[in-house]
């Protein structure tokens, strides 16, 4: 092993951005966090206070220009600039780990005007390559393709010059020890043929109403929450699985205000795949006890369950009211170790030019399913696909 | 308390019939098992050997005629004669506890020819009052109504003369201590408004192919298995809940042969109710470890879960491969105590002329939903209902 | 099977006596509860109200004389008359199921004066045969032997005339499904040689101070609680296991008043057996959550654990404070089914003249160990035994 | 935060030494692993291969002399030189994190001959300050005191010149998230007064016989395993708790050979503390499923349990034989995260001159109790202490 380290910058120092910065600065020994960018000076100051001397930029573009030794960018800025920043980094040949979602509901000034054709409104969050673009209004089919193609093109074009370039849009659960254990067992046939997949992503109830405002840009509960479950379904069923149909139903049990953003606080869905496989999904914003992300894979000879008995740690409390245990309050509480593994493995694949831990094709399928589910949630219609994965019905939103 | 006991006969001594006989003979102190009927002499002999002196009949009708002190009949005979036997007992003013399903796929010689109009093929298992009738081919809408009406009429007509008569088609889970505990908590508002209901009924894999033959008469997996989950959904959401839509998807992962009976071995479903409530269902014939019947009720302030950690008893085995526990091999292993409670409570409500433990309206709704799900499973179509619970789309099978 | 039933009387209608009456009257189909005795008229009236017409007696002796068809007596009266009543029933050739403890700290008027030599104070609860006698002050060695011998003699003498007579002092856990499952696994060698046994009997904290008064007659926490664990140790290690040493330590964490009765509210103990086996015991009167009776058997190839995850039922509650489950509030909540099995199996062995479910030798060993532990608890001394199980040290209390 | 890092060397690259090196090199961002020493060249080469350029030494003393920037030493070398190496580092004013046990059963050439008086055989492992010294034969009381004093003196003497010097003998469980959660709850009074403490340290059965050879130098099962439980008892009861008595019993269930080293493979113990507190301990080398380290703290108002449901991760496997989960195979599998926290917190307290996470007094008490238990295990005698913690009985081994 050489002592070489990967020079990393983090764009954005909000909640998740700061966590990424912390993981790369203090928990990823093979990475050097050399720079951060944020439009908020106080966040830059706080980063220096916490991580010691590093370069700070109020302007992302300037950071790219001023840091010739930069090798990789972690895009965790405001979601409105994710796609733009990712593409700019891609075009400079940098490795990119892009937080999801790439973008929502805003005009994007593309770094590559000829291909993305200027600014445009986006509503549907769509993962392209391993990234996402979302539009605030139903894109025409044509526009949707343009968007996808432009991002894919940016990466594909760059790959010609930079064959070792890595671009990842991390699905953190793929780095979680329990999910990996489960996947290994399924992959080696322990449960026979995986046939039914049940998974839920449920956030702790936040009575502040945060999720109503958040929904304006989140892409909707299926895209924001269930995208993880969809990605897992593809991982466990095989990334070349072809979706056959999706259908979703939802309610607003605690946050009626979500309806104005075409969103719901609880939703269930069924996703059929060709080859006799079914995924059953549930997403919720109102779990009382905390983060409850549970997955079960039912095979012809056995079942593997992940987190069906949620817990914060190994402590049980015996009280006059019974036996109690706490559970993680949020996604980060459940998956912190996975994010750290993500940082380290992304760093390793960049340094060693090895395969990134996940393929692009699955991510493209995931976003297609997530967007279709969100559409089905609102329209109440089942959406069907042919054996190549193309929508059968012409009708779209 | 007086020493009065209820004189009971059990019709049918198959697997479940024998269990009922045992429950009433030895575990229901307020009941006297005075007679049994079965077309199989060996079963009658075995009953005498096990339960001591009691009257035995090869012919059900003769038992009704020859036992003037008989007060209640437990109908657990071959499913092909359930409905007929139940109606005959109803018309004699006897209390009836009818095993489900009442009937399937055979010609029924009705005891009340004018109302049931002769014999007819039946395919859809339909619960009428608390009972079920099933036909082997899609009945016309008219026939379906006739059948329903004829059974309801039999009971309603009898009630005029016998206002204390009880007719029950038991949903055993309603007698289970854990479900009752859960229901009490939900009913008193512990979890706020129950909003999402997830439930599964999953049988242990039986590699013998038993379920293929069984499917010919079972009514299908949603009617045979999920009817319990549907009943629970109505119980937890409120028995006056009105179904808004149903949609189902299924596969044959282990028993391709089920397709010839329009059945599947794994199926998932979504049931919407008016008022912002959703039920998510899963039924399976291929669980490796044993019977896995799990239910969760998600409310606006909490969740109640039943059997999310299945277990046979309180034993854990620590072995070189880890920590293991067994789970009940079948439905009876999980719900034996509930069946015994059912026997005792049915007896008590007959003796004391008190309310039976469940209402008829919910059971009617349950079978309507079960049949619609089974139809959706085969057609792939979502079925919608208006606010009175009437199907919106004219199209039926 | 014949329709023959066992005619049973219950002596005593206090908390446990009423439960026994209920089990025999309504949950033991092969038993007829024909009579009850109690010095409290109101209890007799309540029994008639609950169980219907049966003979009631304010006087135990009169019941024995007036009920010629009586076959078995359940002795569950005030502990001060257990031994006396048991011996009287034994001498009439009746089957006896005797609640523990047989007697404590009072003068007993023996039914057989020549052998028990009149009245005497008793402190140590001693199981003789399957029964117990306790004295309020340290008996001389001679007296202890006399007591033991007199009760053994009563039963042995009676057996000559009544070779089918059964006398049982029930250890309810031996009838518990989980303990039986565990025992079956250990007995067939699943865990290799059972070597270390850990068991606890812990009652829910009762802040009323009930246990202080109770301690005056209970025989002490090791005799009242741990006697079950000791019996289990002998059951799992083999009933011919020979104790090598005992040592105990205790505290009064919540009930200082227990000290005046030479008792403690929490105590731990180590019991060595010849042949390289150890039992580690814990008993407590201050468990917050409820009854916590847990047992683990560690073998050379595996471990079996009973109730290491206590629970009331299969319900889990998800609340803002985490996930909670309730546990049984008391011993009866945990072992109700075992008591019912005990009633039925006692009845069956009397009717069929089969082996009772437990041997006498183990029970004698259990009480010897329990008494020694209680002594060690107070003296702080380790007590040692030779390979025949005789105390090595001459020093006694 | 400044960018300052702590320059660390690791002495010894065996199993645990390599882990420490890894933790400091790659998982402790504030530490620089600058040097390692080992008498095995291959281990040094492997370290360079894994950790990149760092200084390697076949000779520990030379490392101390040649590394002027060194600030802290992690002593994880062969146990025979722990004490010697620790004292040498202490005398140079370096911070020390010393793996336990410091030494066993060998002659130690002291770095400070006048105070340690030359070489001597040691049997009892004794923690001095936060460190341990063990002798292969019963030291005279005088020698024991000399040893203790010499090490304490080394550190105390050094502290005069180096008041910021930190010397830690890590008890890894104190860094475990679950134990910390439990301790926080107990410390703030959630369970009332902690009164009974039950804890076990049980290793997975290693059929290779490794533990027999290991026992020659391990100090015995109570010192090697239970020292953690003893430390926890003191942590939960209060580090100023005074031991009142200890008593232990053990067996050799699987490794008869342990007897030649005065050791056992399963042992249980009771430790009394003044003030009405009891600890019940169990240690074993034959757990089938893996590492089972469980702790319960029973208070007057509640109980806290740590790891009563051991598990490797959040995966459950549903198989034809039931539901199974794996558990960590060894101590490191259970406590890896705690070791990493230990590395980081040790580093932080050295850099920031803050209080180390544990006090010395508790560690001294722990080793006293551990040695007394090991003695009681062999002699079969209960050992008592007065209220100052001094042995009451003059008799020693």
**To 10 degrees, the CA torsion angle through B294, B295, B298, B302?**
-80
CB pair distance less than 8 Å for A27 and D26 = no
More confident residue, D151 or D235: D235
Instruction: Tell me the nearest-neighbour CA distance from B292 into chain D, angstroms.
Output: 10
Interface test with D, best of A180, A314, A316, A328 (most D CBs within 10 A): A314
Residues of D in CB contact (< 8 Å) with A are 1-3, 25-27, 29, 49-53, 177-178, 181-182, 185, 190, 301-320
More confident residue, A305 or C357: A305
Residue A277: in which H helix or E strand, if any? strand A277-287
Q: Average pLDDT, stretch B40-55? A: 94
More confident residue, B151 or A113: B151
CB-based contact A75:A98 (threshold 8 Å): yes
Q: How big is chain A by its Cα radius of gyration, in Å?
A: 21
E strands, chain D, in order: 6-11, 31-37, 55-57, 72-75, 95-98, 126-128, 131-133, 167-168, 194-204, 243-251, 266-273, 277-287, 292-299, 303-306, 315-319, 322-325, 383-384
Beta bridge partners, D365, equal: none
Extract the tokens encoding C134.
């306790």
Cα B260 to Cα B263: distance, rounded to the nearest angstrom: 7
Tally of residues, chain A: 397
CB contacts, 8 Å: C328 with chain B? none
Share of chain B above pLDDT 90, in %: 65
Q: Would you say residue B138 has pLDDT above 80? A: no
CB contacts, 8 Å: D284 with chain C? 196, 298
Q: State phi, psi for C269 to the nearest 5 degrees.
A: -150, 155
- CB pairs A-C closer than 8 Å: 55
Question: How does residue B394 score in pLDDT terms, banded at 50, 70 and 90?
Answer: low
Instruction: Tell me the nearest-neighbour CA distance from B195 into chain D, angstroms.
Output: 27
SS percent in chain C: helix, strand, coil, step 5: 40, 25, 35
Query: How remote is the C-alpha of C344 from its chain's centroid?
Result: 17
Q: Would you say residue A52 has pLDDT above 70? A: yes
Interface test with D, best of C190, C206, C288 (most D CBs within 10 A): C288
Q: Would you say residue B10 has pLDDT above 60? A: yes
**Edge-first strand listing for the sheet containing C55-57:** C55-57, C31-37, C6-11, C72-75, C95-98, C167-168
Cα A267 to Cα A201: distance, rounded to the nearest angstrom: 10
Question: How does residue A83 score in pLDDT terms, banded at 50, 70 and 90?
Answer: confident
Residues of B in CB contact (< 8 Å) with C are 1-3, 25-27, 29-30, 49-53, 177-178, 181-182, 185, 190, 301-309, 311-320
Q: Would you say residue A122 has pLDDT above 60? A: no
- Conformational region of residue D389, where left means phi above 0, alpha means psi within -120 to 50, and beta covers everything else: left
Q: Average pLDDT, stretch A316-336? A: 97
Q: What is the pLDDT of residues A175-209, one digit of tens each?
A: 999 999 999 999 999 999 999 999 999 999 998 88
**Chain D residue with the nearest C-alpha to that of A295:** D315
Cα B195 to Cα B275: distance, rounded to the nearest angstrom: 9
Query: How remote is the C-alpha of C320 from its chain's centroid?
Result: 42
Q: What is the pLDDT of residues A245-256, one digit of tens each?
A: 999 999 999 999
Residue B68: the pLDDT is 95
Residue C140: the pLDDT is 31
**Secondary structure (3-state) at D294:** strand
Instruction: For chain A, list the domains and their CATH numbers.
Output: 6-108+147-169 (3.40.50.720), 180-392 (3.30.360.10)
Instruction: Tell me the nearest-neighbour CA distance from A52 into chain D, angstroms.
Output: 5
**Secondary structure (3-state) at A163:** coil
**Chain D residue with the nearest C-alpha to that of B207:** D320
Q: State phi, psi for A46 to the nearest 5 degrees.
A: -65, -35
Cα A377 to Cα A48: distance, rounded to the nearest angstrom: 44
Residue A364: the pLDDT is 67
Interface test with B, best of C318, C326, C327, C334 (most B CBs within 10 A): C318
**Chain B residue with the nearest C-alpha to that of D310:** B323
Extract the tokens encoding B33.
């098992």
Residues of A in CB contact (< 8 Å) with B are 191, 193, 195-196, 198, 205, 245, 247, 249-254, 266, 268-270, 272, 276-278, 280, 282, 284, 286-289, 298-303, 308-309, 380-382
Q: What is the pLDDT of residues C284-320, one digit of tens each?
A: 999 999 999 999 999 999 999 999 999 999 999 999 9
Cα D100 to Cα D102: distance, rounded to the nearest angstrom: 5
Cα C34 to Cα C379: distance, rounded to the nearest angstrom: 47
Instruction: Tell me the nearest-neighbour CA distance from C249 into chain A, angstroms.
Output: 24
Interface test with B, best of D321, D325, D329, D333 (most B CBs within 10 A): D321
Alpha-helical (H) ranges within D27-81 are: 41-51, 60-66
**Chain C residue with the nearest C-alpha to that of B310:** C314
Cα B344 to Cα C292: distance, rounded to the nearest angstrom: 30
Q: Would you say residue A347 has pLDDT above 90? A: yes
Give the closest of D310, D319, D321 to B323, CB-based: D310
Q: Would you say residue B192 has pLDDT above 70? A: yes
Question: CB under 8 Å to D276, separation ≥6 — which residues?
Answer: C251, C252, C253, D195
Q: How big is chain B by its Cα radius of gyration, in Å?
A: 21
Q: Average pLDDT, stretch A90-106? A: 72
Cβ-based burial of D163 (10 A; exposed 0-12, middle 13-18, buried ≥19): exposed
Extract the tokens encoding C65.
């004389």
Lowest-confidence pick of A74-83, A154-163, C69-78, D97-106: D97-106
CB-based contact D257:D212 (threshold 8 Å): yes
Beta bridge partners, D11, equal: D37, D75
**Edge-first strand listing for the sheet containing D31-37:** D55-57, D31-37, D6-11, D72-75, D95-98, D167-168
Q: What is the pLDDT of residues D204-261, one digit of tens each?
A: 999 888 888 888 777 789 988 898 999 999 999 998 899 999 999 999 999 999 999 9
**Chain D residue with the nearest C-alpha to that of A324:** D304
Q: What is the pLDDT of residues B219-255, one digit of tens each?
A: 789 988 898 999 999 999 998 899 999 999 999 999 9
CB contacts, 8 Å: C327 with chain A? 322-323
3-class DSSP string for C342-385: HHHHHHHHHHHCCCCCCCHHHHHHHHHHHHHHHHHHHHCCCEEE
CB pair distance less than 8 Å for C326 and A324 = no
**Number of CB atoms found within 10 A of residue A53's CB:** 10
Residue B315: the pLDDT is 98
CB-based contact B119:B107 (threshold 8 Å): yes
CB pair distance less than 8 Å for A278 and B268 = yes
CB pair distance less than 8 Å for B324 and D327 = no
* DSSP assignment string, A278-347: EEEEEEEEEESSS-EEEEEEEESS-EEEESSS--SSSEEEEETTEEEE---SSHHHHHHHHHHHHHHHHH
Tally of residues, chain C: 397
CA-wise closest residue to D72 among D273, D335, D350: D350
Q: What is the pLDDT of residues B152-167, one digit of tens each?
A: 677 888 989 999 999 8
The β-bridge relationship of strands C194-204 and D126-128 is unpaired
Could you give the ipTM of this predicted complex?
Answer: 0.87
DSSP code of C56? Answer: E
Residue with token string 């209680």: C374
Instruction: Tell me the nearest-neighbour CA distance from B288 into chain C, angstroms.
Output: 20
Give the angle subtended at the CA of D322 by the CAs of D317 and D326, to the nearest 5°.
40
CB pair distance less than 8 Å for C288 and A319 = yes
**Secondary structure (3-state) at C57:** strand
CA-wise closest residue to C273 among C242, C317, C305: C242
Give the closest of A249, A278, A299 to B249, CB-based: A278
Interface test with C, best of A286, A289, A319 (most C CBs within 10 A): A289
Question: How does residue D362 score in pLDDT terms, banded at 50, 70 and 90?
Answer: low
* pTM for this predicted structure: 0.90
Residue D267: the pLDDT is 97
Cα B256 to Cα B248: distance, rounded to the nearest angstrom: 18
């Amino acid at each position: 092993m050489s002592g070489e380290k990967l020079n990393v910058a983090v764009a954005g120092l909000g909640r998740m951005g700061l966590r990424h910065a912390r993981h790369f600065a203090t928990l990823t020994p093979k990475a050097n966090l050399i720079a951060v960018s944020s439009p908020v000076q106080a966040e830059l100051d706080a980063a220096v206070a916490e991580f010691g001397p590093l370069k700070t930029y109020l302007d992302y573009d300037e950071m790219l220009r001023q840091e010739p030794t930069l090798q990789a960018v972690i895009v965790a800025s405001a979601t409105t600039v994710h796609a733009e920043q990712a593409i700019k980094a891609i075009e400079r040949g940098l490795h990119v780990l892009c937080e999801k979602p790439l973008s929502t509901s805003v005009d994007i000034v593309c770094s590559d005007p000829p291909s993305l054709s200027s600014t445009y409104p986006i509503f549907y969050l769509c993962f392209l390559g391993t990234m996402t673009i979302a539009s605030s209004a139903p894109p025409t089919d044509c526009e949707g393709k343009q968007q996808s193609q432009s991002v894919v093109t940016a990466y594909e074009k760059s790959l010609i010059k930079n064959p070792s370039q890595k671009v990842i849009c991390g699905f953190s659960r793929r780095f979680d020890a329990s999910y990996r254990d489960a996947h290994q067992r399924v992959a080696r046939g322990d449960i026979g043929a995986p046939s039914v997949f049940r998974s839920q992503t449920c956030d702790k109830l936040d009575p502040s109403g945060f999720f109503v405002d958040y929904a304006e840009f989140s892409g909707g509960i299926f895209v924001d929450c269930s995208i993880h479950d969809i990605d897992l379904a593809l991982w466990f069923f095989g990334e070349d699985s072809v979706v056959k149909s999706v259908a979703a139903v939802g309610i607003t049990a605690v946050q009626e205000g979500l309806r104005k953003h075409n969103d719901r606080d609880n939703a269930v869905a069924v996703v059929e795949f060709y080859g006799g496989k079914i995924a059953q999904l549930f997403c919720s914003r109102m779990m009382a006890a905390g983060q409850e992300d549970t997955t079960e894979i039912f095979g012809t000879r056995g079942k593997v369950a992940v987190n069906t008995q949620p817990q914060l740690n190994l402590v049980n409390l015996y009280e006059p009211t019974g036996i109690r245990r706490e559970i993680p309050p949020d996604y980060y509480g459940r998956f912190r170790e996975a994010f750290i593994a993500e940082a380290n493995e992304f760093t390793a694949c960049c340094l060693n030019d090895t395969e990134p831990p996940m393929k692009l094709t699955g991510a493209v399928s995931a976003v297609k399913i997530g967007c279709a589910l969100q559409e089905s949630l609102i329209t109440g219609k089942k959406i069907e696909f042919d054996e190549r994965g193309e929508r059968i019905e012409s009708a779209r939103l």
